[in-house]
Amino acid sequence: MIALLAMLLLGCGGEVEPLLEDLASDNPVLRSDAIIASRRVDEARITRALEQLLDDPDPTIRLEAVRALDLHQDPASVRPLSGRVSDDDDEVARAATTALARLGRPEAGPALVLAVESNPDAPPLDALYALGRVGNRDAVPVLAGLRSHSDPWVRYNANEALRRLR
C-alpha cells in the first residue's frame, strides 16, 4: 500500500529519489514496479536510469524498460535503444525497433540496417518499417536490394520504406 501511494505521488511530480532507488534495486520485482511507475514521470534522471536497465540480465525488465522509454520519447534514448534492436529476446528487439520508429530519428538507421542485413533470408519486417520512419537515407541501398526478395512482405515493406525516404 505504501509503495502504491509512493508511485502515485511520484506520478504527480513528487520526489523521484525513491523511484530511482527502486530502479537500481537488486530485487527484480521492485525494478519492474518502478519501471511501470516511471512511465508517468518525465524526468531526465528517470530516463537515464531506464536506459541503464536495457542491459538488465532479465529480458522482462529489458522489455518493460524499452516500453517505458518509448513513452518518454527522449531523442537521447536512440543510442541505448539501438543496442536492443538485435536483443537475444525477440520481444525486446521488436519493442526497441518500434520505439525507434516512433522516435523517428536518423541516428537509429545503422542499428536497423544491421538488423536487416544480419538476417538476409528473413529480414525483420518491423525493422524495414522503422527504416522508412527514421529517415536515414543510408538505408536506401539495403532497401533497394530487398525489392527483389523472394518474400512478398519483405518486398512490400522495403518498397514502402523507400517511398517514405523519398
26-85: pLDDT as tens digits: 999 999 999 999 998 989 999 999 999 999 999 999 999 999 999 999 999 999 999 999
Query: Could you tell me the sign of the dihedral formed by the alpha carbons of 65, 82, 143, 103, in that order?
Result: positive
User: What is the C-alpha separation between 75 and 148, in angstroms, rounded?
Assistant: 34
Query: Per-residue pLDDT for 19 more than 50?
Result: yes
User: What is the C-alpha separation between 17 and 87, in angstroms, rounded?
Assistant: 29
From residue 151, alpha-carbon distances to 40, 121, 147, 155 in Å are 40, 9, 10, 6
| 14 — pLDDT class (breaks 50, 70, 90) | low
- What pLDDT score was predicted for residue 111? 97
| 4 — pLDDT class (breaks 50, 70, 90) | very low
- What pLDDT score was predicted for residue 80? 98
Average pLDDT, the chain: 92
- What pLDDT score was predicted for residue 11? 46
User: What is the C-alpha separation between 56 and 67, in angstroms, rounded?
Assistant: 14
- What pLDDT score was predicted for residue 27? 96
- What pLDDT score was predicted for residue 15? 76
